[in-house]
Amino acid sequence: MTAQRNMIAFDLGASNGRAILGQFDGERIRLKELHRFENNFIEMNGVFYWDLPYLYDQMKKGLLAFRQGGFGDLDSFGIDTWGVDYGLLDKNGHLLGLPRSYRLGVQADIDAVTARIPAEELYRRSGIDTTLTFNTLYQLHRRQREDDAALAAADKLLLTPDLLGYFLSGEAATEYTIATTTQLYDPTARDWDWRTIDQLGLPRHIFTPIQPSGTIRGHLRQSLCRELGLNRAAHVAVGSHDTASSVAAIPGTGSFAFCSSGTFSLVGVETDRPDLSAEAAAAGFSNEGTIQGGFRPLRNIIGLWLIQECRRDWSKEGRHYSWDDIVALAQEAAPLRSIIDTDAPEFYAGGDMEKKIRDFCARTGQPIPDTPGQTARCIYESLALKYRKAVEGLEQIKGVPIDSVNIVGGGIQNRLLDQMAADATGRPVITGPIEGSAIGNLLTQAIALGDLGGVEDLRRVVRASETVETWQPHPSGDWERAYEKLLSFLN
């Protein structure tokens, strides 16, 4: 390899995005944040949209920051984002309206599909939890039922990271890990689920070829090179689902479960084959892809979305709290006072989140959180207990005990939640790296460029480059009683 690689990870979550420079010398990787920006969906006439032109412009600002930083030539860039959402292009390659946000989904979308194809059959075909209203399958079928003009005119469907990559490089394709989030990927055939696509009458031609993670898809458009003063850096289709990139960067060994902690918390294990059993379906597990071409049986758990929405509501009321303020208030609140099922249907939609939590507690005969600290503590403790439920289900799938939980992502900055996760699961919790998705993104680029041989080499670099922290569990009868309460809500 060259003396040093310069690579950029565009790491976009459902609340913010970053352009992060990775400088790799073959042994260690150093990170530098080039640009950070907010990302919020926009509601118009009852539909939630992502502001794609804004996101594209912010990515250009990240590239410009690289050039202005005087770092030399850029070797490559890769993009990872949240799953399931997509945009539509017409035959000229132009965007057909703003992409819709997954926050729009409702139970009726599921019912309309399962009336045609039973949920059990859908799970056997895709291995994706059929109860998730936001799945791409349900989004597309809704638009079809509505005689959506954009869908009728579409020439291509591109999932969010592939869509943004198309506007940067001009190449249209679908990366493997993001395809597996859609409920339209057949893990047995290793291709799109053409049976479901045909049964629902979705247009076949909009689905682009699926490429493995680590494919060099193309290069930065010539027009952008001229505009930004950059060389034609390679566009690598990394593990473009942010969770896939996060999991790739986990430095763990032995029998561990992973948790990617962010707006959603995704708790799972790595396997070579999907688990398409009725037991996995009943436990709510989804089989999403790994960068090495395997699978991640995991639970999608509503994560820090709950506290993000509460903070948004508090700000509207003139109560402005930093994230550290909220954690401090939670620490002062009484422990295990009230527990919620974080995945109850009412929590998926934005708005009035604090009221929804209070209503859940009132409905279940629990003390109602009266302060921001009580609300935050209720969220954090409930989330930790949901981790335990997921880990116990994963042990059944894996067939061996899980010794530890490795948590990556921005959520690990909440040290109170890290300790709660250890206490609730009764297992050591290892946290780090914070920038898991960005590091996985960057080092998958290094694999594509020929500098690393695969995921084991990638994890060796992570262990050499990053410091992790271990949280020992302090189980108690109070946690056990709280867990029994949570289980009563789920039965």
Would you please indicate which residues are annotated as catalytic (active-site) residues? Answer: 242
CB of 381 closer than 8 Å to CB of 339: yes
Cis peptide before 274 (omega within 30 of 0): no
CA distance 261 to 304: 8
| CA dist 456 → 212, 287, 351, 378 (Å) | 17, 21, 43, 38
End-to-end CA distance of the chain: 55
Rounded to 10°, the helix 323-332/372-398 angle is 90
Positive or negative, the Cα torsion across 413, 416, 420, 426?
A: positive
Q: How many residues does the chain have?
A: 491
Selection from 485, 390, 454 nearest residue 213 by Cα: 454
| CA dist 108 → 120, 132, 134, 139, 409 (Å) | 17, 12, 11, 11, 33
CA distance 368 to 375: 9
β-pairing, 185-186 with 174-175?
unpaired
Instruction: Compute how many other C-beta atoms are within 10 angstroms of the C-beta atom of residue 488.
Output: 11
CA distance 439 to 249: 6
Exposure letters 347-363 (e unless 16+ CB within 10 A, then b): bbbbeebbebbbebbee
